[in-house]
Amino acid sequence: MEAKKDLQEKLDYLREMYEKLIPFDRLLGIEIDTLTLTDIKIRIDMREELIGNFIRGMLHGGVISSVLDLTGGLIASVELVKHLENVEPDEVARRVARVGTIDLRVDYLRAGKGVYFTASGTVLRKGNKVAVIRTELCNDQNLLIAAGTGTYLVG
């Protein structure tokens, strides 16, 4: 029961971090749609400022890579905090702040058209030093817009 409460506090901290504390995430306007230990979904609504191709009205490739990068980082952070027990909130913040992207590949598969987009991912490798996360961005029609694979430093 204590452990459950403890875990929920960590997830709440991650939500606050991604939605309020990280300035560039606020500039992008990302929202955390779902955040549990097993299911994580990020949402971003289309707006004029996020456009790259102004002739065709498509999401900028940089918005796509940003969202895939931060989705992978959030998934890697959840994997990390899962295994942190009996640790003070300050220590959780310190550990999460050290999670960093080592490298990222993004494949741009379809034109980034849509009213909103959602990103999710799966853990391909989870070690005590490095995690590899595969991510996907879909539009509101559930069409796959882009796919990513990122390597993250986690310890």
Q: Interface residues with its own copies (CB under 8 A)? A: 21-28, 48-56, 60-63, 65-67, 69-70, 73, 93-94, 97, 100-110, 124-125, 129-130, 132, 134, 144, 147, 149, 151, 153
Minimal CA–CA distance to 35: which of 124, 143, 119, 152?
119
Phi/psi for 2 (5° steps) reads -60, -40
Q: Considering the complex, state which of residue 40 and residue 131 has its C-beta at the smaller distance from its own copies.
A: 131
Q: Considering the complex, state which of residue 16 and residue 36 has its C-beta at the smaller distance from its own copies.
A: 16
Minimum distance from CB of 109 to its own copies (Å)?
5
Minimum distance from CB of 33 to its own copies (Å)?
18
Q: Considering the complex, state which of residue 36 and residue 84 has its C-beta at the smaller distance from its own copies.
A: 84
Task: Tell me whether residue 120 is exposed, middle or buried, using C-beta atoms within 10 angstroms of its C-beta: 0 to 12, 13 to 18, 19 or more.
Answer: middle
Minimum distance from CB of 37 to its own copies (Å)?
21
Q: What is the C-alpha to C-alpha distance for residues 93 and 78, in angstroms, rounded to an integer?
A: 12
Phi/psi for 88 (5° steps) reads -65, 150
